[in-house]
A and B are shown apart, each in its own frame.
Chain A
């Protein structure tokens, strides 16, 4: 491989900090059985960046994502979003938060009701907006962002779509809320390599065209390398390394990051 080691896409000036977390901790259980899944993580996510959390299974990366999404109560620490404290949200405030922060999850088969057409699925999500009048327009716009023509997919059932197409519908569902942040938790892990790049390209296009802020969670450093502006590495709930993607992936300081990199199966023998 003789590709020149050019310094990335033009270095992106990270926007203002959208998320700031301080000492985020999540403990499951109590007493002697307590498990600290996330331990005192400080994080900052800049607007318009794709931030990737990398770690093995059990490193707490999904737990951290769920805390950011407000799906799991935060045991201790603080989280602020856009200058507001969102550590403990409830009721209406949490619903309002979900208009700004949307998610796509791992399993493109589990997140669909198989008896609903795509149209019905998307219409149900619109309820979060309290019956927006421009629903149809939002639907078409969101599907357009992920590369679908609305008429092609709206009347289809999930079993008529491939895994990659389903995942794109799920991204469209999130986009209908016109969120500021999209959290993708292993959203591409169950897809074939050829479909995976399509979904990743959709995410980078969203960043480049809409300035979307994306929190992307993966165990695959190859994918992180392809899309991330910033990378955070979690090991057993502790943030061991974070920084610009180039630094973390090509000049890792921590032994754990180096091991993660070494374990990636190589397609070509090292020169």
Chain B
């Protein structure tokens, strides 16, 4: 298998107006194999979208890459100030499907005009008729009704719009698609349809690989082969999707998993507590392990030292607890769940309602 993308020790930061650097991606090492979906999970503010921007070569001020190496299909990418990324690269080699893209389609253009715009931006000599034939074929292949081409964005449902922008972002057969929160605004049925479509596109060879960024772990579990969990700018765990869901090796992954609500009978009686506290500010991250202020398994060294990365390239986590307990899943998930205290059989008198 060839490596589509290989990122080593990437560091990227935002420059604030007063000249400080806020590092949103800190020492991230990742790779994507041909034919693979890599999921990137994390809460808001964990740096996952910034990582998406860096990997898709969309680094613009105030974001800057401080150090690190990025190979796309074996070709080293240069991020320096003088680096010139050919414009035609974007969309044809690496394509970014940004967050909220479905709401950024021009409301005054029909979808087919947008499709032509994308094709023409990369091929000046593209003809409208031929381009449309290509687009129509792609759309029918993926099971979407061809009428969407003649529609204006407001005539499409949210799920359809998201599928349409996904198709448009892959019209040029990019080697790698980076999809940032593509399912977050969709209901479950549209999520399912989008995930099925992405997998179909992968197996049809429309793109070589996908990086799927979301905070929604069940979606990642369903769509990805491997999952990388990010916290405060760092990748804290990488694992096979099923393995991560069943046997997390980092307390943060375990806590995230524990706060997922699924329609199963036991959730009727459980009280899920979520993760205490909130993610740290990247301008001033905690010392040692960045998760230590919210971690249940925190030990003395977690507060002062950076945790070691334990495991193999395909399955690793950065945690002192995991280093001391090789091979064991983290016992956090069960500990954060407690049963609801039985509510009084009589509903409490309503002081609010009775005042008036």
Contacts and interface: CB of A to CB of B under 8 A. Distances in A.
B356 to A, nearest CB: 7
Nearest to A206: B352
A208 B257 contact: no
Interface of B: 43-44, 157-159, 184, 186-192, 195, 215-219, 221-222, 242, 245-246, 255-257, 259-269, 271-275, 278, 340, 342-345, 347-353, 355-356
Contact of A208 (B159, B217, B343): B343
Interface in A248-271: 249-250, 259-261, 263-269
Nearest to B340: A9
Contacts of A243: none
The contact size tier of chain A is 35 or more
Contacts of B245: 267-268
B227 to A, nearest CB: 12
A58 interface: yes
Given A194-B255, A197-B261, A211 B191 contact: no
A103 to B, nearest CB: 16
A80 interface: no
15 contacts: A6-B268, A9-B268, A10-B345, A48-B347, A56-B188, A57-B187, A165-B278, A190-B184, A194-B274, A201-B271, A220-B188, A221-B188, A225-B268, A246-B265, A250-B265
A75 interface: no
A204 B273 CA distance: 12
Contacts of B265: 3, 5-6, 246, 250
Given A57-B157, A265-B191, A265-B219, A193 B268 contact: no
Contact of A9 (B255, B256, B257, B342): B342
Contact of A267 (B187, B260, B344, B351): B260
A225 B271 contact: no
A179 interface: yes
Given A57-B187, A210-B350, A260-B189, A194 B43 contact: yes
A55 to B, nearest CB: 8
Given A194-B259, A245-B268, 17 more contacts: A8-B268, A12-B343, A57-B186, A57-B190, A162-B44, A194-B43, A195-B274, A197-B272, A212-B350, A222-B260, A225-B261, A225-B262, A225-B263, A246-B265, A263-B189, A267-B221, A267-B262
A136 B341 CA distance: 32
A267 B259 CA distance: 12
Contact of A224 (B43, B189, B263): B263
Contact of A264 (B188, B278, B340): B188
A245 B221 CA distance: 26
A193 B215 contact: yes
A66 interface: no
Interface of A: 1, 3-10, 12-13, 15, 48, 56-58, 99-100, 162-165, 175, 178-180, 190, 192-198, 200-201, 204, 208-212, 219-226, 245-246, 249-250, 259-261, 263-269
Contacts of A162: 44, 278
Nearest to A188: B261
A210 B351 contact: yes
Nearest to B343: A208
Contacts of B272: 197, 201, 226
Contacts of A210: 348, 350-352
A241 B316 CA distance: 46
A10 B347 CA distance: 12
B76 to A, nearest CB: 35
A15 B347 contact: yes
Contact of A263 (B184, B191, B348): B191
B129 to A, nearest CB: 33
A225 B267 contact: yes
B349 to A, nearest CB: 7
Given A197-B273, A210-B351, A211-B349, A260 B257 contact: no
A122 to B, nearest CB: 16
Nearest to A259: B189
A192 B44 contact: yes
A268 B263 CA distance: 12
B268 A260 contact: no
Given A9-B268, A197-B274, A265 B188 contact: yes
Given A162-B44, A208-B343, A193 B217 contact: yes
Contacts of B264: 1, 3, 225
A15 B348 CA distance: 12
B275 A194 contact: yes
B199 to A, nearest CB: 13
Q: Which 10 A-B pairs have the closest CB atoms?
A: A3-B266, A178-B352, A219-B187, A265-B218, A222-B261, A211-B350, A225-B263, A197-B274, A265-B222, A8-B268
